Amino acid sequence: MGMHLILLCLMLMKASSTSANGDGDGDSGCPLGSDTYQYSCPEAEAIIFSWVEQAISQDSRMAASLLRLHFHDCFVNGCDASVLLDDRDDFVGEKSAAPNLNSLRGFEVIDAIKSELELVCPETVSCADILATVARDSVVLSGGPAWEVKMGRKDSISASKEAANNNIPAPNSTVDVLLTKFQNVGLNLQDMVALSGAHTIGKARCSTFSSRLQSSSDSSDVNMQFIQSLQQLCSGEDNTNKVAHLDLATPATFDSQYYVNLLSGEGLLPSDQALVNGNDHTRQIVETYVEDPSAFFDDFRYSMVKMGSLGSSTQIDGQIRRDCRTINLPN
């Protein structure tokens, strides 16, 4: 989808965006809005989209990586770009936290976007807004739904490795654990199932689904042919860097195939398959998305706006970083 099409989509949504998705203001002291950069940096969204389009054309996996950056940011003290801060001698960021270390990708794409934006409109567009926008653009460029990204986030001046370790859902989580982590940040069960659909694109390392490899044929809800294919992929001593598609059927297309896979026992991560095997309510939502893919798209865009609005105290005392990897130093 070209930039003119996504802008058309956003214009149509802006004209009709009222109560359907809420106002997206979140709980921060600085409400998010639709026209934040209308005058201060009107080219912002076009610049971001161009870089995302280029990155995905070179590496289709980058769509999932950029989407994941936004998730991992928002689950730790709100959407404040704390995930982008590098460790330094006197500062511990979140990149070395267990869910992020040797796992998160796409930082160089954010760097490129920020560099151009700083040339065009210095100290105007926050890194947190960049993350929210690249997430949307990655979904659209992969065939998924568009939504209007509310803008006006501030960048944090702190980070929390501890919160990253504790707050981000793990790939082996049960439904109860998943739900607790989503509820802890202000999201509900419906949001959890809808946002899990982000796993319709991307890849995961063998280590993240190792417990799936131990599944027994004694259970009627285990797809042993699928499990055996994973065992073969991850066999051998050096399987650390081996990866599998989260959605084997349409790995680079944002669609509802992820949920179809779950019903046939082909969820890659234990936390994915648990949505069908571990809870009747979540299974019912999965079945709804299989029967009506448009319902998934509607719920996903709603939950992305909701997640993207998660705020924190940094929205009040934050800043607009000149370099997304480091906090601005006093002049």
Which residue positions form the known binding site for Ca(2+)?
73, 76, 78, 80, 82, 94, 200, 247, 250, 255
Clarify whether 4 is annotated catalytic: no
- Residues making up the annotated binding site for heme b are 199
What DSSP character marks residue 319? Answer: B
Cα distances (Å, whole numbers) of residue 22 to 26, 103, 303, 306, 308: 10, 33, 10, 8, 12
Asked if 314 and 158 count as a contact pair (C-beta separation under 8 A), the reply is: yes
- Residues making up the annotated binding site for substrate are 169
Question: Could you give the residue ranges of the DSSP H alpha helices within 97-248?
Answer: 107-120, 127-141, 161-167, 175-184, 189-196, 224-233
Query: Which entry of 70, 72, 245, 281 is annotated as an active-site residue?
Result: 72
Beta strand segments in 74-116, E: none
- Residues making up the annotated binding site are 73, 76, 78, 80, 82, 94, 169, 199-200, 247, 250, 255
| Cα 161 to Cα 171: distance, rounded to the nearest angstrom | 18
| Cα 69 to Cα 318: distance, rounded to the nearest angstrom | 19
Cα distances (Å, whole numbers) of residue 76 to 95, 233, 270, 278: 12, 33, 22, 26
| Cα 159 to Cα 175: distance, rounded to the nearest angstrom | 28
* 3-class secondary-structure state, position 223: coil
Beta strand segments in the chain, E: 203-205, 243-245
Residues labelled as active-site residues: 72
